[in-house]
Amino acid sequence: MKQRTLKKNYSFSGKGLHTGKPVKMTVKPAPENTGIVFIRTDITQRPVIEARASNVSKTDRSTSLCQDGIAVYTVEHILSALTGLGVDNAIIELDNVEVPIMDGSARKYAVLIGKDGTVEQEAERRFINIDSPIEITDPSGAYVRIEPAPKADYDITIDFGSEVLGVQSAHWDPEDDYIAHIAPCRTFCFFHEVEFLLANNLIKGGDIYNAIVIVEHPISEAQMQLFREKFEMPQLSVTPQGYLNNIKLHFNNECGRHKMLDLIGDLRLCGGFLNAKVTAYKSGHTINTAAAKAIEKAIGIK
């Protein structure tokens, strides 16, 4: 299979979820064997940050990269979209530090790029193959297991001990329709987490339109009124299913599918298209990127 890149430039504007800073991002075609790289155009030297597991710097609620002291935050959604669309080579220019959160999914990236398709290049695609199983675990019981396979095949299960969410599972492989089944799935959080994050000024770019909010425990009218005022939504309430009514779910397992979206993006940091059977349970950015680092090590990338 040959490498592929974009047909043209695509620009996206918004704000970073965690920094709240406005940002313009332009995704551009790239020569063969470039891989995916980020360029900070707001810095005179236009430093390059490669999308590599060895450059992962932070994994608290998103995946951040840092190379030669220059960082880029929240890279997982755009990496997921490019992987789901089969893009080998792309240059991602940012005029600030954080990728725009958009609606909390990869939908806009995937729809716009997918509508035009991609361009075949001359070089062969780089598939990442492993010789023996890799498993990363943590004390919570979460794990990512990666086993040799002739093609990519991903399964994930999430379990937050939540009566509202329940246990959700999702599947993806390259023959799946990424644009329809994975890309629209938005990030999610619990109401009590949003309260804490707002109180500590940790989601400066968050609003009520870019996340599914799960209300696991009863909340008071005073708490709800604070949210109505904060997000300027006087009709905000809790649905019978236990979600804020700010947005409607695209799928019953949208939260599980979003975790799949993240997993695809994080594992792209291993340096190419992974041929493996991936089984993830309760995984997040920390364990996902640790798995990507373990793959790099297994195939001899330093």
**Residues recognised as catalytic:** 285
* Neighbouring-strand partners of residue 189: 213
Q: CB under 8 Å to 236, separation ≥6 — which residues?
A: 208, 224, 227, 228, 244, 245, 246
| Residue 47 to residue 230: CA distance in whole angstroms | 37
Which of 59, 65, 73 lies closest to 16, judged by CA? 73
Other beta carbons within 10 Å of 199: 8
Other beta carbons within 10 Å of 89: 23
Q: Are strands 22-29 and 90-94 parallel, antiparallel or unpaired?
A: antiparallel
| Residue 210 to residue 108: CA distance in whole angstroms | 12
| Residue 203 to residue 31: CA distance in whole angstroms | 36
- The CA distances from residue 221 to 169, 225, 246, in Å, are 33, 6, 17
